[in-house]
């Protein structure tokens, strides 16, 4: 029997909470670059200058693109840790734990193959690439080294974030209204979440 939407939401919230704690613990050991503080201050100063009329639209956008690009570069180690933790938590853990993460276990639900066959690691990888923003995060990590134009990189990053949000929204709607309660990630990976 397919699990309820509410159980899945609670499981997901628990899982994201745990992932955020784990990522925070690991990133505590990464020294914060003084450059990050300077870049954040620079971003605030630029916004302040723009709102007070000291700089025009074109200058403002140019400065923001440059600063955001530099901030993206500075956050590469944290993004890599986040992707690794997400893969371990949403792929490896359920693979070796009968399709369950901690949140799913607490809500007595699990991921299974839709056709009843054995759940494979590939199924969980595909599912997580879509559902847990891993694909978008990996794409951003690759693009930061390929796209040298700051404006194009920042705009691309924003567009990718909107695409991921749209995919998650579509998946939520599909989970609520489809017969098998499968989101886009479930249909593509041929998995579903069931009681158990």
State pLDDT tens for residues 56-106: 999 999 999 999 999 999 889 989 999 999 999 999 999 999 999 999 999
DSSP SS3 for 23: helix
pLDDT at 32: 72
Question: Is the pLDDT reported for residue 196 higher than 90?
Answer: no
Residue 85 tokens read as 């933790």
β-bridge mates for residue 89, sequence order: none
Q: Are 63 and 55 in contact (CB under 8 A)?
A: yes
Q: Domain map of the chain by residue range?
A: 5-195
pLDDT band at residue 133 using 50, 70 and 90 as cut-offs: confident
pLDDT at 150: 93
pTM for the model: 0.86
Measured CA angle at 165 (ends 163, 168), to 5 deg? 110
DSSP SS3 for 50: helix
DSSP SS3 for 98: coil
Span 19-28, pLDDT tens digits: 999 999 998 8
Share of the chain above pLDDT 70, in %: 100
Of the candidates 79, 104, 109, the residue with the CA atom closest to the CA atom of residue 90: 104
């Amino acid at each position: 029997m397919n699990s309820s939407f509410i159980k899945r939401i609670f499981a997901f919230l628990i899982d994201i909470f745990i992932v955020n704690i784990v990522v925070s613990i690991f990133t505590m050991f990464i020294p914060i670059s003084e450059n990050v503080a300077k870049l954040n201050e620079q971003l605030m100063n630029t916004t302040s200058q723009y709102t007070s009329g000291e700089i025009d639209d074109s200058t403002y956008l140019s400065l923001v693109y440059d600063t955001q690009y530099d901030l993206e570069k500075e956050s590469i180690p944290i993004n890599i840790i986040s992707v690794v933790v997400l893969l371990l938590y949403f792929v490896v853990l359920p693979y070796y734990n009968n399709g369950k993460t901690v949140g799913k276990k607490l809500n007595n639900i699990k991921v299974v193959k839709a056709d009843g066959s054995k759940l494979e690691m590939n199924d969980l990888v595909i599912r997580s690439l879509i559902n847990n923003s891993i694909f978008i995060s990996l794409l951003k990590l690759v693009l930061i080294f390929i796209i040298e134009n700051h404006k194009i990189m920042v705009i691309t990053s924003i567009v990718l974030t909107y695409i991921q949000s749209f995919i998650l929204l579509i998946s939520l709607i599909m989970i609520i209204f489809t017969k098998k309660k499968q989101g886009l990630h479930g249909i593509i990976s041929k998995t579903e979440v069931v009681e158990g």
